[in-house]
Amino acid sequence: MATTDEPMTAGQMRDAEDWTMLTTPESALMDRAASAVAHECGRLLASRPDGVEGAAVVVLAGSGNNGGDALLAGALLAERGAVVRVVPCAERLHERGAARLSGAGGVQAELSSGALLVAGADLVIDGIVGLGSRAGLREPVAGVVALIPRTTPVVAVDLPSGLEADSSADEAPHVIATSTVTFTAPKHCLVEHPAAAAAGRVVIADVGVDLGWRSA
């Protein structure tokens, strides 16, 4: 397992992940990612009198692996006593992540209730889109994101949704994170301004991706 401080492109990350998954199950990488996200959420919730216990956590989840990571992180928080609600931001959710969160007591809401839920949340997890997405968020998801109070902690999975991994641009609608838990290496949007201003605190988590592909 390894990390690097050198920014990697979305294409480089896909190559590294594909190389790693020749010998490591994708589920193992996702479980480690979820653990890192949940850890950062716990750090941000530690200022509450009861910490994670009883915290209102809203997971904004898309259909891809970032959404799966967010759902799995939500399950870990639910197991610690958080009240976790999922707002689906796509037609379907990551199957394993959704099942794990449901088993931990998480509740799936409707997108139409997203604005109300984020307004009352103690913390929001952003797992809407991932590395391969283009800049910007579409309605009605963009409208929900815009209504997250600026005082509410937001933890982005890998990158704030709406930013493009390989770009420094920030003109399109996007999530503004308190913390971004990214995996293996920083992405260009997390370290190059003006986009980097939306990332908040950047945590580089080691999820077991093998960087040996670069010399293989």
| Residue 179 maps to a domain | yes
pLDDT of residue 212: 76
Query: 216 pLDDT exceeds 80?
Result: no
Q: What is the mean pLDDT of residues 6-29?
A: 93
The verdict on residue 124 lying in a domain is yes
Residues 72, 101 contacting (CB under 8 angstroms): yes
Q: Which domain holds residue 101?
A: 10-19+52-208
Flag whether pLDDT at 213 surpasses 80: no
Annotated binding residues for (6S)-NADPHX, written as ranges, equal 65-69, 130-136, 158
Q: Kindly report the average pLDDT of the chain as a whole number.
A: 95
For residue 155, being part of any structural domain is answered with: yes
Asked if the structure places residue 69 within a domain, the reply is: yes
Q: Annotated binding site, which residues?
A: 65-69, 126, 130-136, 158, 161
Determine, yes or no, domain membership for 149: yes
> Is 72 a member of any domain?
yes
Convert the pLDDT of each residue in 162-189 to its tens digit: 999 999 999 999 999 999 999 999 999 9
**Structural domain tally of the chain?**
1
132, part of any domain: yes
| Overall average pLDDT of the 24-47 stretch | 97
Instruction: Kindly list the strands in the beta sheet with 56-61, ordered across the sheet, starting from the edge strand earlier in the chain.
Output: 107-108, 83-88, 56-61, 123-127, 154-157, 179-183, 201-205
Q: Which residues belong to the annotated binding site for K(+)? A: 66, 126, 161
Q: How far is 37 from 155, CA to CA, in rounded Å?
A: 7
Instruction: For residue range 80-94, list pLDDT tens digits in order.
Output: 999 999 999 999 999
CATH of the domain at 81: 3.40.50.10260
| pLDDT confidence bin for 1, thresholds 50/70/90 | low
Cα–Cα distance for residue pair 38/74, rounded to 1 Å: 7
Task: Determine the number of helices (DSSP H) and then strands (DSSP E) in the chain.
Answer: 7, 7
Model's pTM, two decimal places?
0.96
Per the domain annotation, does 46 fall within a domain? no
Alpha helix locations (H) across 52-92?
65-79
